[in-house]
Amino acid sequence: MSGSLVCVGTGMTLGAHICPIASSYITQADVVFSLMSTGITERWVEEMHEDVRSLQPYYQEGKNRNITYNEMVNAILAEVRIGKKVTAVFYGHPGVFACVSHRAIDKAKKENFTAHMEAGISAEDCLYADLSIDPGKTGCINYEASQFMFYQRNIDPAAHLVLWQVGLAGDKSLGKFSTGKAYRQILVDLLLKTYPADHKVILYQAKVLPIDTMRAEYIALADLIDAELFMHTTLVIPPSEKMRPNQAILDKLAELDKQELKSSYRPKLTLVL
Amino acid sequence: MSKVIQVLEQMSRDANGQNDDAINNLLAAAQLDTEITTAIINKDVITLERQLDVRPDIVCIIAPAEDDGDENEENDTEENTNNWIIGF
């Protein structure tokens, strides 16, 4: 019997967000790997199946996390290769700001194993609900905070900007679990090129347990340097400007509409022989 | 599934179970240890984690700021990373 892999998410809040297909893949697996965001949610998954193996032991502060992620992938693939039906469980959505699932599925497919991902409720989804943000209204750009600093990325001050993993912003070693004020100063200086220092930004943390309190803390951008940040804190920057019309495009569209209207008035002639 | 986890699951899942009265009724029916019940009522996650003896120091970072790239993934070992830092 050939091994297989499915990556599922539990959603963010214990019990509330896990979908039926994810539960089914967990209970029906031969072996389950888990990567959860808290000890209690890790215990919750452990209680769904007799053989749940946490991927947490692969983390080590000071160790490049790409090594950690590759070790996790290898642990998952080792079971697939010996013919097991493997389910890898992640908090939130298994493939949103999460590389292990994608790498594991890619590798499994390259080795001709069946592998796929099921969608889950991500922290981003919770953010839209908790902060009453409709990404469709003015647009929303999502970046990993350190990647935003390492590369020249475009931002639009008329859209929302969401920076994930801001608690470790600026860590080039990929080995730190947090970075301090000096790193945050560089991030703030970068953001000040676009936003005013007193622009209100939001520190967000989704609810994971039913007894948690969702964090939506509004601070001035300049105060980000001294703010309390955790691994699971997300920085949300609302628009600081209104959207500006693109007049050149609007003029082209108006001309097109005029032509279509004209052609709709022309009589439709039928040739009768 | 353990009673505590079942209670937490029930609290999350039940739309009618989101108020204090419903939670108190649920906890009374579950008859959990006093310390655990108190931690839940007080929304004291740290005490609850300690009572359940769950894994401490969980890491929840799964997005690298940059990948090594497919061709480098197999070579990304601790030794190679150390050599890069030293300058080989």
The CATH number assigned to the domain holding A190 equals: 3.30.950.10
Mutate to test the interface with B, among A44, A166, A231 (most CBs of B within 10 A): A44
Instruction: Kindly state whether residues A134 and A117 are assigned to the same domain.
Output: no
Catalytic residue among A25, A58, A65, A195: A65
CATH label of the domain that carries residue A54: 3.40.1010.10
**Complex prediction ipTM:** 0.87
Is A103 a catalytic site residue? no
Q: Which residues of B touch A (CB under 8 A)?
A: 1-2, 5, 8-13, 40, 43-45, 48-49, 52, 54-56, 58-68, 73, 76-78, 81
Q: Quick count: other Cβ atoms within 10 Å of Cβ A47?
A: 15
Are A46 and A29 found together in one domain?
yes
Kindly report, residue by residue over B17-59, the tens digit of the pLDDT: 778 888 999 999 999 999 999 999 999 999 999 999 999 989 9
Q: For tokens 């209104």, what's the residue? A: A242
- Residue A200 inside a domain? The answer is yes
> Which parts of chain A have pLDDT scores under 50?
none
Domain count, chain A: 2
A111 and A138 together in one domain: no
For residues A102 and A40, membership in a common domain is answered with: yes
Q: Are residues A115 and A140 in the same domain?
A: no
Is the Cβ pair B58, A70 closer than 8 Å? no
Residue A247, domain member (yes or no): no
- Under a CB-based contact definition with an 8 Å cutoff, are residues A225 and A181 in contact? yes
Would A250 be classed as within a structural domain? no
The domain in which residue A106 lies consists of: 4-121
Q: A12 by DSSP, 3-state: which?
A: coil
Residue B76 has pLDDT above 70, yes or no: no
**Chain B contacts of A163, Cβ < 8 Å?**
none
Q: Is residue A52 part of a domain?
A: yes
For residue A55, what pLDDT is reported?
Answer: 98
Domain identity same for A154 and A100 = no
State pLDDT tens for residues A105-154.
Answer: 999 999 999 999 999 999 999 999 999 999 999 999 999 999 999 999 99
The Cα A244–Cα A59 span in angstroms is 45
Task: Looking at the structure, tell me whether residues A95 and A172 fall in a common domain.
Answer: no
H/E segment holding residue A85: strand A85-90
In the residue annotation, A143 being an active-site residue is answered as no
Predicted confidence (pLDDT) at residue B88 exceeds the cutoff of 50: no
Q: Which band of pLDDT confidence, cut at 50, 70 and 90, is reported for residue B69?
A: low
What 3-state DSSP class applies to A35? Answer: strand
Query: Chain B: nearest CA to A240, how far in angstroms?
Result: 26
